[in-house]
Amino acid sequence: MSDAIRPAPETPEPRVTVRRYSALTRINHWTLAGSFVLLTLSGMALFHPSLFWLSTFFGGGPTLRWLHPVFGCVLIVAWLFMFLRFAWANLPERTDWVWMTKVRDVLSGREENLPEVGKYNAGQKLVFWSFALLVPALFLTGLVIWDQYFYDWTTIPQKRVAVLAHALLAIGMITVWIVHAYAAIWVQGTIQAMTRGYVTGGWAWRHHRKWLRDLVSGRKRTPPATPAE
C-alpha cells in the first residue's frame, strides 16, 4: 500500500487519510486564487464608475491602475506552474463522457450510478481547460492595453477590440471561478484537500474511487508529505 494512505493520527477512531496535494501545490494554488481575487476587485473598479469606490482598497486610482496588471503577472506565472503540473491529470478519458451524460445523478449525489472517477471528474476537467483558455487570453488582451509599457506595440483600433475582449473574458473567467469555488465548497471535505493537503478515505472512495484504487495498488505516485504532515 502507498505511504500516502494512513490512519489519521489525531482522531481516536480509526479514520484513514489520503494525501492529495503537496505544500508546494497548495502555495501555488492559493497564490493563484489570491491574485485572482485581487485582479477581480481591482478590475471591477476599472470596469465601471459605479464600482470605482473599490479603488480605495488599492491606494486610489493611479496605484490601482499600476497594480492591476502586476496582479495579472502573478496570476499568469502561478497558472503556468499549476498548468504544467496538472494538465496530465485533466486529460479527457472515455468515462468522462458517461459522467457528463449522468449530470442529474451528479447533482443529486447518486454517485453509485456514475463511472469510477480518477483524480478529477469531467466537471473539474472542464473547469481546468476553461481556465487554460481564459487565463492566457486575459493576459494577452491585458498586454495590448497595458499602455505604461506597451502603448506603441499596437494601434488604437486594436486596443479598442482588446478592451472589449478583456472585459468579456473577465466575465467568463469570473463565471468559471464561481462554479469552481462553489463546487469546492459544496462537496463536503474538498476544501481541506487544498488547505491541509489531505482528504478522508471516505471522500476519496466516494468521489474519486479510481484514483484511490490506483494509489492503493501503487499505480499512481502521491505528492510528497511536508515535515508538518
Tell me the number of residues near ligand HEM by CB under 6 A.
Answer: 22
The vertex-173 CA angle with 68 and 208, nearest 5°, equals: 125
Nearer to ligand HEM, 132 or 159 (CB): 132
Cα 42 off chain centre by: 20
Report how far residue 61's alpha carbon sits from residue 143's, in angstroms, rounded to the nearest whole number.
Answer: 19
- List the grid coordinates of 17: 487519510
Min separation Cβ 90 and ligand HEM, Å: 5
198 in contact with ligand HEM (CB under 6 A)? no
- 3-class secondary-structure state, position 19: strand
Report how far residue 55's alpha carbon sits from residue 44's, in angstroms, rounded to the nearest whole number.
Answer: 9
Considering only residues 134 through 193, tell me which ones interact with ligand HEM, judged by CB under 6 A: 135, 177, 180-181, 184, 190-191, 193
Look up 29 and say whether it is catalytic.
no
- 3-class secondary-structure state, position 7: strand
Considering only residues 51 through 80, tell me which ones interact with ligand HEM, judged by CB under 6 A: 79
Give the strand order in the sheet containing 16-19: 5-7, 16-19, 198-200
Min separation Cβ 222 and ligand HEM, Å: 13
29 in contact with ligand HEM (CB under 6 A)? yes
Nearer to ligand HEM, 80 or 161 (CB): 80
Among 128, 139, 198, 203, binds ligand HEM (CB under 6 A): 128
129 in contact with ligand HEM (CB under 6 A)? no
C-alpha to C-alpha distances, 203 to 74, 142, 189, nearest whole angstrom: 32, 39, 7
> Which residue ranges make up the site for ligand HEM (CB under 6 A)?
20, 29, 32-33, 36, 79, 82, 86, 90, 120, 124, 128, 131, 135, 177, 180-181, 184, 190-191, 193-194
Catalytic center residues: 180
